[in-house]
Amino acid sequence: MHPSDLKDTLTKLFQQSERTTTIMLSGGPGVGKTSIVAQAAKDAGKPLITIALPTCEAVDLRGLPQVIDGQTKWASPMPRDGQGVILLDELSSAPPDVQVAAHHLVWAEAGSDMSLPAGWHIVVTGNRAQDKTLFRSVSGPLRNRMTIINVDTDLAQWAQWAMDSGIDPSIVGFLRWRPELLVAKEVPADGAFPSPRAWERASDLLSLAVSAAVERELLAGTIGEGPTTEFVAYLRTVRELPAIKEIIAHPDKAEIPTSPSLMYALTSSLAQHTRSSKESAMPYIKRLPAEFALLYVRDIRDHYDIAKDKDVREWIGKHKSLFTNDTV
């Protein structure tokens, strides 16, 4: 399931007054499983409790035993009332006894000391065996008590999130040109590798005032050697592109890149500028091939009043065929 569909689905589940199922999100490291749950809980107006299972012992979930009226009771630290969301993070990396304790929470057997109030929803996350993480197979009975959803990555959705989150436009442009580098096809046995989480950290590193050699080493330690080699070469050229202010001031004279990779970079940068400053770059953008102008319009339409922009309206009118099944 793609991130936006997953967030909407979780939000609807969390808005229910009673838990109907426990969701397990399965996917590679760094694809955004935890952040999607956090955003859905926020959108549903529910508090979120996150428990990192690999750092837990069973007692952290089950509680300490105590004898009451001659019977052993477990003083579970889990919520006793109210509503909310509990995220049991990285189940597949948790020790066996912690998985068993998590099973008791998910099972919600009648009369158990670990039974949660009906208004508390549970989401479990985990990596897969092929992800080469610390992996312990989840038991069949536990899997059978959950709805398991595979989390897919979608570059278009990620790009929109990235622009909303202030990710460096050069990274957005690069990944639009090389979408297969958003997520590692195979997680290496050692060293860094690309993922949405890793690219977010790479964006932060680009703001550091360090030498090119240091920047390259930092990037290689974040997204891996192979992606860094390509991205650094891309960056060298991108940083020689015309300045945004120059393009806005002289849209008819500013240079047009000849390389598609640089057009992706420039289109992403100009869209980010329009989204933040509400200043149109369409007089320049309309000089680019139609596919890049279309990308620009889609990037800005939810953050800029395109209906009031004469240049955007005229361009859309000339290219209506590009907007089949699309609302602008």
Q: Give the pLDDT confidence of 75-131 residue by residue, as tens digits.
A: 888 898 999 999 999 998 998 999 998 998 888 766 667 788 889 999 999 887 766
Q: Give the pLDDT confidence of 42-65 residue by residue, as tens digits.
A: 999 999 999 999 999 999 988 888
Q: Give the pLDDT confidence of 230-275 residue by residue, as tens digits.
A: 999 999 989 888 899 999 999 999 999 989 999 999 999 999 999 9
Instruction: Give a yes or no: residue 83 inside a domain.
Output: yes
Same domain (yes/no): 133, 258: no
Instruction: Give a yes or no: residue 187 inside a domain.
Output: no
Q: Which of 134, 150, 166 is the last residue of a domain?
A: 150
Instruction: Give a yes or no: residue 220 inside a domain.
Output: no
Residues 203, 171 contacting (CB under 8 angstroms): yes
The reported pLDDT for the residue numbered 138 is 86
- Which of 17, 19, 20, 27 shows the shortest CA–CA distance to 6? 27
CA angle 314, 320, 325 (to 5 degrees): 135
Pairing of strands 84-89, 48-52: parallel
Which residue range is the domain that position 267 belongs to?
Answer: 242-328
Q: Which of 150, 178, 212 is the last residue of a domain?
A: 150
Instruction: Give a yes or no: residue 108 inside a domain.
Output: yes
Question: For the chain, what is the domain count?
Answer: 2
The reported pLDDT for the residue numbered 67 is 85
Instruction: Give a yes or no: residue 96 inside a domain.
Output: yes
Q: Which of 94, 129, 150 is the last residue of a domain?
A: 150
Residues 105, 13 contacting (CB under 8 angstroms): no
pTM of the model: 0.81
Where is pLDDT greater, at 273 or 185? 273
Domain of residue 35, CATH code: 3.40.50.300
Instruction: Give a yes or no: residue 233 inside a domain.
Output: no
Instruction: Give a yes or no: residue 195 inside a domain.
Output: no
Instruction: Give a yes or no: residue 85 inside a domain.
Output: yes
The reported pLDDT for the residue numbered 105 is 87
Q: DSSP labels for 81-107? A: SS-EEEEEE-GGGS-HHHHHHHHHHHH
Same domain (yes/no): 139, 251: no
Same domain (yes/no): 138, 261: no
